[in-house]
Amino acid sequence: MATRKTSPDDPLAPLTLAVGQEDLLLDRAVQQVVAAARAADADTDVRDLSSDQLQPGTLAELTSPSLFAERKVVVVRNAHDLAADTIKDVKAYLDAPAEEITLVLLHAGGPKGKALLDAARKAGAREVVCAKTTKPAERLTFVRSEFRALGRSATPEACQALVDSIGSDLRELASAVSQLAADVEGTIDDAVVARYYTGRAEASSFTVADRAVEGRAADALEALRWSLSTGVAPVLITSALAQGVRAIGKLSSARGGRPADLARELGMPPWKIDRVRQQMRGWTPDAVATALRAVAEADEGVKGGGADPEYALEKAVVTIARAARAGR
């Protein structure tokens, strides 16, 4: 590959290879290249293509010499899905890249399309790692780096509290850091995070449980999918489901009385007595037993006893909602 005088970290290198499956990081890799190109030439032409839009011959057309020698950025998303003939075109281009053009390949990094990945690396591509953050420590590092990038100071406790509250979605974490940086003066501590975000994960898991014990299966499944997508731990959801069903079982077997008296007897706050009374209409002892078995199975499924924790939770939610409606 003919090289220009660029450093390995230069966004205007002839080829940038963004490798991984973390959408936020992939988008940022593209944005960095585009920003650098437009800083060098405000009229930079940006072509952002999906793998199916890059057909054989398309790359040659996009990178052909221009009469005005305009700067251009060509982005190819999901490059691992490119057709074999198109991959040949890309490999041929890597041997003789065009002047004033930056090619950005977004690749998942797995075995699919590995030949293209290897060819890009051999050609001396500038590589940006965009791997999924699968460990809490990685998300903590991400939050710290976001605060540093914004020139803000946050305590270790604040960073940890933010990760605990928001979950695993990097876009959500980045948005939360940006909001805190914009709204709060001085050092951001865990008390600030608590005012903004603490309780979010717990609230969403109890929403799933409330909708399920009320017999609202569709609403419960929607809340479940939202909770999981925002990083709520499955064990929090099974815990909330268990508490919801047990509360109904306790109240249905308790003696009648005022909420305050029942609250003392059952160890629940009075407001919860009122809520559970509304939720328990239609519940029978057999339905409670069925729901508790469903929770136990889900708990086992999310703790390694099943292949798919999400399916285990969905099955439990549906079973509980059906049990809630059985006596109505």
pLDDT in tens, 263-313: 666 666 666 777 788 888 878 899 999 999 999 999 898 887 667 889 999
pTM: 0.60
CA atoms within 13 A on the CB side of 28: 14
Helix, strand or coil for residue 18? strand
List b or e across 233-268, with b for residues whose CB sees 16 or more CB atoms inside 10 angstroms: bbebbbbbbbbbbebbbbbeeeeeeebeebbeebeb
CA distance 210 to 157: 31
The mean pLDDT value for 47-65 works out to 89
Which of 8-17, 140-149, 309-318 has the weakest average pLDDT? Answer: 8-17
Read off the pLDDT of residues 28-49 as tens digits, 9 standing for 90 and up: 999 999 999 999 999 899 999 9
Q: Please report the pLDDT score of residue 194 as a whole number.
A: 80
Token pair, residue 129, equals 């790692």
> Residue 293, Cβ neighbours under 10 Å: how many?
14
Helix, strand or coil for residue 72? strand
CA distance 266 to 251: 8
